[in-house]
Chains A and B, each alone.
Chain A
Amino acid sequence: MIPSSPATRWALVLLVALAAAPVLSALGDQTFYVFLLTRMMILALAAVSLNLILGYGNMPSFGHAGFLGIGAYTVAILSVRAAETQGGWLASAGLQLPLATLTAAIAAIVIGAVSLRTRGVYFIMITLAFGQMLFSLGVAMEPYGGDDGMTLPLYTTLGPADLSAGPVLYYLVWGFLVLALAGSHRLMGSPFGAVIRGAKSNESRLAALGVPVYRYRLAAFAMAGAVCGLAGALLANQGGYVSPALAAWTHSAELVVIVLLGGAGTLFGPLFGALAVIGIEEILSRYTEHWRIIFGPLLILVVLATRGGLSGLFRVRNND
């Protein structure tokens, strides 16, 4: 079932700690940490989706944040309609979240269909170009603020509550994150996952066996886009705000860093990566606004010192 390696043990401890965090925060009257950890978990969710293609599948997408934008704007557009027409159902999670996921999936199929014909740095540049085009699209959407972005007139509603209140959004995100991790594990352990991972190292052999590698990859790309769209919808609620900057390539690069730092192609890498990036940023920025001058070399150190990012730190020697 679940591999019982040191990494897994730590990850499970972390997930339990995350589940307890809002309670602790409330006791200490520190709601900021709920806000921060919600954002961290959403980024982890997006990173889990990117890990499917970048980590396991060697499809280095530099436009993945475009799907965050799609999910976020789906929520924003529906919210605006809901506010204008007083149609509460338009703001419900039951409509917004699946629709955000679906829209992102469709976009991913289109983008993937074109991009997956290429490899390596060519794939990087094409996905980056698509991401930037989505960004430009967001900027062109004047009624929704253009590049100023807009605040959500209504948060997504979940039954009697809505996703503006800290704990509700927090546990929803936590739940999705756990589901995504479990799903990622199942998927990569299945025959489908075997193809994706196999195609990373030996594509020609698979093709010789008659496996339609392109279709498998496209499916994986679509799934990754879909989950990222969901993350975007949650992100819109977390900040109560959407802007095209969500889809910019610098944001995609941040997701790539999270996946790589945590350990590409490992189950819990995205979680460790998100925690590390958000945590280090938070701690270091208290001491100096120039914290990136420490963070940058830290990334270099991790690359030089480990194979497989932070997850690689957990590996016992003879498992390398």
Chain B
Amino acid sequence: MTLVLEQALNGVQLGVLLFLLAAGLTLVFGIMNFVNLAHGSLYMIGAYFAATFIPWSGSFIVGAVLALAAAAAVGMALEILIFRRLYHRDHMDQVLATFGLILFFNELVLMVWGPAGMSIAVPSWLAGQVTIIPGVPYSAYRLAVLLAGLAAAAFLYVLVSRTRTGMRIRAGASDRQMAEALGVDIRLLFTGIAGLGAALAALAGLLAAPLRSVHAGMGEDILVLAFVIVVIGGIGSIRGAFVAALGVGLIDTVGRAFLPRALDAIFSDSIADAVAPALSTTLIYLTMVVVLAIRPRGLFPAPGV
């Protein structure tokens, strides 16, 4: 029983991390109607920045904040230089251009930071375990990631639904021209959103980094999953991204934790071995297909999108 609880906790933690990545993507897609394949690159660059600033500043928090600022700057620069010229273009043109960005950033990190990649150590004050479920020592760092992600989700919710800026964001999403006519500076708003999306991606990247390694191409490993979540949740919907991310995290984790044994009980060893790992990803794709079959625009399609 405790194992089930522990796996559920793992699933939620993974889901929260995925949410941070998907939130930025769905914001940019929903509000600016822009497909940004390079979102994974922002995740990667956030991790690389953090891996550089944390040792330099000697503090995890300071380094993380610097990394977020740097990533936001990169996001805004991309918006000004490239994204804004493509808002009126076909989605496929945006795909091609941001694909080019992926190639660029992957080589850039190899050339600047070298082929060995980097790593970020878990901060010493989070290196131990805590016992939230009796008998199960849970990584303190993972718990911190979970809490940080929830805090970010709460922040986004407040931002979008309770502040003036959030109001402008929602106005710009549903009727850009009217919002402009009413005096909202759309250009500034869009640049800001690109920066926010980049910061969220970078946060996901730097939080994930101590669990994984920082290497070129790390964004693409997770990019497809982020798009799946955005699609399941509904393009432009933060709430949808949150629900979908938690769902995907749980399905993936619980699937990997219990499916192999379930399969072992039913099928022969070799079949179970071959099928089980692929089954978890397939399960997520199937979920997406099922959700789209019932709700073709995702769970919570944002109005006006």
Contacts and interface: CB of A to CB of B under 8 A. Distances in A.
| A and B touch in their complex, CB below 8 angstroms | yes
B262 to A, nearest CB: 17
A303 B107 contact: no
A13 interface: no
A304 interface: yes
B282 A133 contact: yes
B104 A303 contact: no
B99 A122 contact: no
Interface residues of B, number: 44
Given A120-B91, A122-B231, A142-B274, A296 B285 contact: no
Contacts of B282: 133, 136
Contacts of B103: 292-293, 295-296, 299
A140 B292 contact: no
A128 B224 contact: yes
A276 to B, nearest CB: 12
User: Secondary structure at chain A's binding surface: helix, strand, loop or mixed?
Assistant: helix
Interface residues of A, number: 39
Given A136-B281, A249-B224, A129 B288 contact: yes
B49 interface: no
Contacts of A298: 100
B100 to A, nearest CB: 3
A126 interface: yes
Nearest to B82: A300
Interface string A105-117: 0000000001001
Which one of A139, A140, A261, A300 has the highest number of Cβ atoms from chain B below 10 Å of its Cβ?
A300
Contact of B285 (A132, A142, A264): A132
A180 B217 CA distance: 35
Contacts of A224: none
Contacts of A292: 103-104, 106-107
B92 A260 contact: yes
A293 B288 CA distance: 34
Interface of A: 54, 60, 114, 117-118, 120-122, 125-126, 128-129, 132-133, 136, 139-140, 142, 146, 249-250, 253, 256-257, 260-261, 264, 290, 292-293, 295-300, 302-304
Interface of B: 29, 35, 82, 85-86, 89, 91-93, 95-97, 99-108, 110-111, 220, 224, 227-228, 231, 235, 270, 274-275, 278, 281-282, 285, 288-289, 292-293, 296-298
Given A121-B227, A140-B275, A264-B92, 11 more contacts: A125-B231, A125-B288, A128-B224, A129-B285, A132-B281, A256-B95, A257-B99, A260-B95, A290-B111, A296-B107, A304-B86
